[in-house]
Amino acid sequence: MQNSETILPPITERSGPLRWLRHNLFNTWGDALLTVASASLIYWLVKSLLIWAISTAEWDVIVANLRLFLIGQFPLEQVGRLWIALAFLVFLTGNSLAIWDRNSRLAAILILGLPVFLLFLPFAPQTRVWLGVLAATGILGWGLGYTAPQSLKRGVAVGWLIALPVFVLLTHGFTPAVEDVPGTALTVVPTNLWGGLLLTFLLTVVANIFSFPLGLLLALGRRSELSIIRWFSIGYIELVRGVPLITILFMAQLMLPLFVPGGIDIDRVLRAMVGMTLFSAAYLAENVRGGLQAIPKGQFEAAYALGLSGAKTMYFIILPQALRLIIPILVGQFISMFKDTALVAIVGLFDLLGIARTVLSQPEFIGLHREVYAFVSLFYWGLSYAMSYISQRLETSLGLGVR
């Protein structure tokens, strides 16, 4: 045996800000030159942007139209419904964060702290009351999830399952509107009044949720042994992937009415949702197929050898592994679908971008393109980044590394 005293741990470099700088930024003359050049470029860019944002930009256009940007023409007296729907989502989010991501308090503080932060901005009193409600439900949900994680799991899952129907129902309402009679709490709000972030959000969620099972079926269909199913799947996927989304949206708006019998008027928002779902499903199918191909043949063989049927092998063995593998790709697709919703502005719907165009066409806001588009971009970026972040958390909590 060697004397254990002679074995020393590796020498760890002393750290310090100066040492770090020298090591990472000024290691050689070339490095130093590059550091100085990029630092000045960044400084110049940020400085110009800040000067514009603080002194030149006229943000009044955003403040004056904030409601339009968020919910479009949605009637003011019905806005409470949207707040309640939002509160439901915030409650579920708080709950889920506490149950499945309890080690990362930072996420909880960031997400649940947002309504609290907004509370201190100079909004209308009524808005601030609702923001208070949001903050309270979020924190309540988090607290409940933190104290009783096991017993709540199933309830939260059911909650997420019904979240979309609840949200759509509250947005749409169900008692028909009658002229000259003040509406009830749940009077129907026709979809042509839906707009802004609300419409963007609904388009994204609906297209992504419904394209998922459809894409899954297409991916399985493409591997099917029945040639008619296989050829249909291949035909559908290749056809849709060969056409730009904007074309499909135009077809949904202009050509769909030719195919449905007269008298039946399909809602324009619904048409856009259907078009986007069908488009997204084709891409999703190919992503899922990629995941399926990554599963070794031995996994199929082991399952078959145990007597599992083809369907059960898919459901219990292959799909869980394949879908986990493609989470990053799926999230990438969800994000790109979210940004693609902006195309509906071209077919005349008032999503976030559509509203931006409407605002800019008003005489008093002419020439304020920079402010409006900067604001809209910030929204798109924030939400995309949030989705990306959630996917990273999802990957860790699903234990992708365990193999």
Partner 1 sequence: MSDNNSTIIAVRDVHKWYGHFHALKGINMEVSKGEVIVIFGPSGSGKSTFIRTINRLEEHQRGEIVVDGIELTHDVRNIETIRTETGMVFQQFNLFPHLTVMQNITLAPIQVRNWSKSQAEETALQLLKRVGIPEQAHKFPGQLSGGQQQRVAIARALAMQPKIMLFDEPTSALDPEMIREVLDVMVELAQSGMTMLVVTHEMGFARAVANRMFFFDQGQIVESGSPEDIFKAPKEERTKLFLSQILSH
Residues 6 or more apart whose Cβ sits within 8 Å of residue 74:
82, 189, 193, 194, 195, 198
Minimum distance from residue 103 beta carbon to partner 1 (Å): 20
| Nearer Cβ to partner 1 (48/396) | 396
| Nearer Cβ to partner 1 (58/301) | 301
Amino acid 128 reads: R
| Nearer Cβ to partner 1 (59/316) | 316
Neighbours of 231 (CB within 10 A): 13
| Nearer Cβ to partner 1 (60/301) | 301
Task: Compose the 239-278 pattern: x for residues touching partner 1 by CB under 8 A, - for all others.
Answer: ----------------------------------------
Instruction: For residue 268, give the 3-state DSSP assignment.
Output: helix
Minimum distance from residue 14 beta carbon to partner 1 (Å): 37
Q: Does 226 bind partner 1 (CB under 8 A)?
A: no
Residues 6 or more apart whose Cβ sits within 8 Å of residue 159:
88, 91, 92, 95
Q: Give me the phi and psi of 40, to 5 degrees please.
A: -70, -35
| Nearer Cβ to partner 1 (140/323) | 323
Residues in the chain: 403
Q: Which of residues 22-41 bind partner 1 (CB under 8 A)?
A: none
- Please name every residue paired with 175 in a beta bridge, in sequence order, or none if there are none: 187
| Nearer Cβ to partner 1 (86/216) | 216
Residues 6 or more apart whose Cβ sits within 8 Å of residue 351:
195, 196, 199, 200, 203, 341, 342, 344, 345
Q: Which of residues 344-403 bind partner 1 (CB under 8 A)?
A: 399, 402-403
Minimum distance from residue 298 beta carbon to partner 1 (Å): 4
Number of residues counted as binding partner 1 (CB under 8 A): 21
- Please name every residue paired with 194 in a beta bridge, in sequence order, or none if there are none: 72
Task: Compose the 292-321 pattern: x for residues touching partner 1 by CB under 8 A, - for all others.
Answer: ----x-xx-xxxxxxxxx--x---xx--xx
Minimum distance from residue 322 beta carbon to partner 1 (Å): 10
Whole-number Å distance between alpha carbons of 130 and 138: 12
User: What is the binding site for partner 1 (CB under 8 A)?
Assistant: 296, 298-299, 301-309, 312, 316-317, 320-321, 324, 399, 402-403
